Amino acid sequence: MILWGYTALARLEQARGNSARALDLLDECMQLGRAHGFAALLARRVAASQAQLALSQGNLTDAVRWAGASGLHTDDEISYPREAEQLALARVLIAQGRSDPTSQHLPDALRLLDRLLADAKAGGRMGSVLEILILRALTVQAQGDGTDALASLEQVLSLAEPEGYMRIFVDEGAPMAELLQAADARGVAPNYVAKLLAAFPDESRIENEELRNATRSNSQFSILNSQLPEPLTERELEVLRLIAAGRSNAQIAQALVVAVSTVKAHVNHLFGKLAVTSRTQAIARAQELNLL
């Protein structure tokens, strides 16, 4: 009960925008667990919650560090007592995949989620089914499969609407807002989707709109991009357009759900490919090439 109380309070404080307090609560919970000899399973759950909170705050580095130290692997046996940890691992893989779409992270996350989904369905755990379907939708969205992502989301909405779920969607941030906007454009569960979108913080909707505008027409730039000795990757094009929109590295990291260090690496790479040394020069060069 102590564990559930602390993790629920931490989620509440994060939802209210009190990130530091959310972290403090989980630290308190971990210290209390050590003092009172919590079972190892409970301690692992707190650590997984800390990793998930780190992701919510855009801290991919700490989340990846937790995943490496957790001893978890995507081919581990599916176990309900460790479901929360395995879902946290899937979230880390999704975040890593967003920063490097050509890596194995997204396919690994999808395989793990499909196995977790089968187990949750067999056990009749509908709360778990909803969360897993949401993560599955976000995974295939990150892979660029909008049709499959919307199909997964539509399934979740049909299950969640009668129960009035809200936070399970809103806590996923800008990527979920983008997916819900796509559902809204297709008239999927219009009343429910409108209610969900209205619950997102204003800044999340703004970030999502800018990201959506930045990524809308990647295909039309492929020919122009090929004029460069080394073409920009799609992720570098996203970063370039967000730079042109006046976003800082920290703001870009938050919009793309990656670490600031990852954004800096992308910026350095695109500077090299454009043969420039500043953001102003990068924007000017990109405009010359009609990439903006």
For residue 239, pLDDT over 80 is answered with yes
The highest-confidence range among 18-22, 137-141, 226-230, by mean pLDDT, is 137-141
pTM of structure = 0.68
Mean per-residue pLDDT, 103-126:
95
Mean per-residue pLDDT, 190-214:
70
Residue indicated by tokens 């890596």? 103
User: Helix-strand-coil percent breakdown of the chain, rounded to 5?
Assistant: 75, 0, 25
pLDDT band, very low/low/confident/very high, at 218 (cuts 50, 70, 90) = very low
Look at residues 208, 232, 213 and name the one whose alpha carbon lies nearest to residue 291: 232
Per-residue pLDDT, 148: 87
pLDDT band, very low/low/confident/very high, at 16 (cuts 50, 70, 90) = confident
Per-residue pLDDT, 227: 60
Per-residue pLDDT, 206: 46
For residue 173, pLDDT over 50 is answered with yes
Mean per-residue pLDDT, 75-100:
93
State which fold the 215-288 domain adopts: Arc Repressor Mutant, subunit A (1.10.10)
Q: Classify residue 104 by its DSSP letter.
A: S
For residue 130, pLDDT over 90 is answered with yes
Domain borders along the chain are: 1-61, 72-200, 215-288
72-200 and 215-288: same fold? no
pLDDT tens-digit readout, 25-61: 998 988 888 787 777 878 888 899 999 988 888 888 9
pLDDT band, very low/low/confident/very high, at 185 (cuts 50, 70, 90) = confident
Within 123-233, residue ranges assigned H as helices are 126-142, 146-160, 167-170, 174-185, 190-199, 202-215, 222-225
Beta-carbon contacts of residue 78 (< 8 Å; ≥ 6 apart): 86, 115, 116, 118, 119
In this predicted structure, which of 146-160, 197-211, 248-262 has the lowest mean pLDDT? 197-211
For residue 88, pLDDT over 90 is answered with yes
Residue scoring higher pLDDT (262 or 115): 115
Mean per-residue pLDDT, 191-210:
74
Q: What are all long-range contacts of 78-86, with beta carbons under 8 Å and residues at least 24 apart?
A: 78/115, 78/116, 78/118, 78/119, 80/119, 80/123, 80/125, 81/41, 82/41, 82/44, 83/116, 83/119, 83/120, 83/128, 84/45, 84/48, 84/49, 85/44, 85/45, 85/48, 86/112, 86/116
The DSSP H or E segment spanning 267 is: helix 260-274
For residue 212, pLDDT over 70 is answered with no
- Say if domain 72-200 classifies as CATH 1.10.260: no
Look at residues 243, 197, 260, 240 and name the one whose alpha carbon lies nearest to residue 57: 260
Q: What is the dihedral of CA 218, 224, 227, 230, to 10 degrees?
A: -10
pLDDT band, very low/low/confident/very high, at 137 (cuts 50, 70, 90) = very high
pLDDT band, very low/low/confident/very high, at 91 (cuts 50, 70, 90) = very high
Per-residue pLDDT, 64: 94
pLDDT band, very low/low/confident/very high, at 223 (cuts 50, 70, 90) = very low
Mean per-residue pLDDT, 235-263:
83
Rounded to whole angstroms, how far apart are CA atoms 10 and 24?
8
